[in-house]
Chains A and B, each alone.
Chain A
Amino acid sequence: MKIEEMNFEESIKKLEAIVKELEDENISLEESMEKFEMGIKLSSNCLKKLNEAENKIEELARSEDGKLITKELNLEKEN
């Protein structure tokens, strides 16, 4: 799976696994270089996912014809 297609959870799990693998002393230099590079890509993917989430609070309701609609949540209206 390509790193860009991974979700946050998959990325962070893979990153944890890579760090663990790098701790292994028997791993070859080439392999550790590859893994390290992948780890850096994964961490930036995680950071991207953390920041790209939408910042929205909406209310889901049904319109008069029964369709689902979302509108901005107004907490003051019932008080």
Chain B
Amino acid sequence: MEDCTVIKTKIYTVSELNQEIKKNLEAGYPDIWVEGEVSNFYFHDRKHMYFDLKDENSKIKVVMFHHSNRNLIFDIEEGLHILINGYISLYEKRGEYQIIALDARPVGKGALILAFEQLKDKLEKKGYFDITHKKSIPLLPGRIGLVTSIGGAVIKDIIQVLKQRFENFHLIVRDVNVQGITSSDEVCEAIDDLCGYGVDVIIIARGGGSLEDLWAFNTEKIARKIFRCPVPVISAIGHQTDYTISDFVADKRAATPSVAGELVILNKKEAVGNLKGMVKRAESLMKSKIRAYKKEIFFLIKRRIFIKPETLLDRFNQNVGDLNVRLKNDIKEYVRAGVEKLVNLYRMMDKKNIIKKIHFYRMAIGNVNTRLFSIMQYYINLKKNEIKYILEKVADKNPVNVLERGFALLYDAERKKNIKSIKEAGINQVVKILLKDGILSAKIFDKIYKKIEPGLKNEN
């Protein structure tokens, strides 16, 4: 460190160094074109694109910001060979240099063709072209919607074809620009308007042109609009050889606008001819049928039955007899089965249920009774014991019992007062001693104070 200061070498901070390198890089490569294959493609929030551009030996980081990539008509995707225009810069946070791409174009084929192929592929995968989604075109549409430019020859062609096929058609035209940047939006709006107004079928038509001219009909927006249109759509864009996305999505593709006129409505003369043909065929079928029946009737009339009809009657009579017997038996059996069923039902429904219920309640009542009884028994026993205990206690307190156990009771001479303390008796006083079997008369001749401790035996 000290050496450095001594030799006066400039010391950078990392930020300063990166800033300087960035400045040099941006000045050194301000406008470059580079070609390579896309790898590690990452479309952050569908805004900024991050990817590597590589060849066999080397790769370089590329960023294409939203404002640069939003005008691309094709999708940049993994493995695509592209040519990029931009400048070199340095991402200071990581010290990584990268191309800031401003424009990109495919290598090998035109951007429009690539975009067309990519969209076609994408919509095909989404099922937009599936035959199951195609609505059928009505034979006789009451109102025909037409989206086209009323300035062109296309509309005249279509009207002419319609007039040839069907003199009394109802056509509703919605004028749009079929070319230019607003064209796609205008066509979408026109489809909405015609649906809103109410038509039975919609033709979208324009004459031939280059891929650029027809571009309005190759957008995802138009594809979605046609796909979701509740009314069948005929797409008639360009010549026989021109194919657009709208042709693929539409319910029917007309090779040219004139063909659309043929597809959209039946040929009235043909239809009338066809109808007349069918009626004629029906008439002749009826005629031959009637002829055949006539022949049969003629043949039948000659049969025995018609000559001797009684024979037929005999057989009928017998049959009727048989049937009568069978019918009677059937009815009997039917009624019997019905009655049986009713009886069964009555048995099953009423009795069974009620008896079951009675059983249930009986059981329930029985249970309560037994329980009550045992509880009462318990209390009665409890009370009995209590009473017994109290009686025993009371027995202990009975003085007679005490005398039985060898104790004595002391009274005054008149046996009026129970002497419990020596203080209550005087010397020479006559007292009565009550024992279990009689009374002793005695005289006190001395008093000895002594507290008798419970539990000790009397000393005398």
Interface residues of A (CB under 8 A from B): 7-9, 12, 15-16, 18-19, 22-23, 25, 27, 29, 32-33, 36, 39-40, 43, 46-47, 49-51, 53-62, 68, 70, 73, 75, 78-79
Contacts and interface: CB of A to CB of B under 8 A. Distances in A.
Contacts of B171: 56-58, 73
Nearest to A62: B193
B174 interface: yes
B196 A68 contact: yes
16 contacts: A9-B140, A15-B278, A19-B278, A33-B286, A36-B282, A36-B283, A43-B275, A47-B275, A50-B271, A50-B272, A51-B168, A53-B170, A56-B170, A56-B171, A57-B171, A61-B175
Interface residues of B, number: 41
Interface stretch (B148-156, B305-313, B377-385, B440-448): B148-156
Given A43-B278, A60-B174, 10 more contacts: A33-B286, A36-B283, A40-B279, A43-B276, A46-B275, A50-B272, A55-B169, A56-B171, A58-B173, A61-B175
A29 B290 contact: yes
B172 interface: yes
B452 to A, nearest CB: 127
Contacts of A29: 289-290, 293
B202 to A, nearest CB: 11
A68 B193 contact: yes
Interface of B: 138-140, 142, 145, 150-151, 155-156, 159, 166-175, 193-194, 196-197, 268, 271-272, 274-276, 278-279, 281-283, 285-286, 289-290, 292-293
Contacts of A43: 275-276, 278-279
A36 B172 CA distance: 39
| Most chain A CB within a 10 A radius of its CB, from B169, B173, B175, B293 | B173
Contacts of A25: 292
Contacts of B150: 59, 73, 75, 78
A3 B342 CA distance: 51
| Most chain A CB within a 10 A radius of its CB, from B278, B283, B285 | B285
A68 B197 contact: yes
B173 A53 contact: no
A1 to B, nearest CB: 17
Chain B interface, DSSP helix/strand/loop, else mixed: helix
A12 B138 CA distance: 12
A9 B151 contact: no
Nearest to B151: A78
Given A53-B140, A68-B193, A36 B286 contact: yes
B275 A53 contact: no
B142 A53 contact: yes
A75 B285 contact: no
B278 A8 contact: no
Nearest to A47: B275
Contact of A8 (B139, B169, B285): B139
Given A55-B170, A59-B174, A60-B173, A75 B156 contact: yes
B159 A60 contact: no
B107 to A, nearest CB: 42
B290 A39 contact: no
Contacts of B155: 75
Contacts of A57: 159, 170-171, 173
Contacts of B168: 51, 53-55
A9 B138 CA distance: 7
B290 A9 contact: no
B250 to A, nearest CB: 20
A23 B278 CA distance: 12
B279 to A, nearest CB: 5
A38 B180 CA distance: 55
A50 B140 contact: yes
Contacts of B139: 8-9, 12
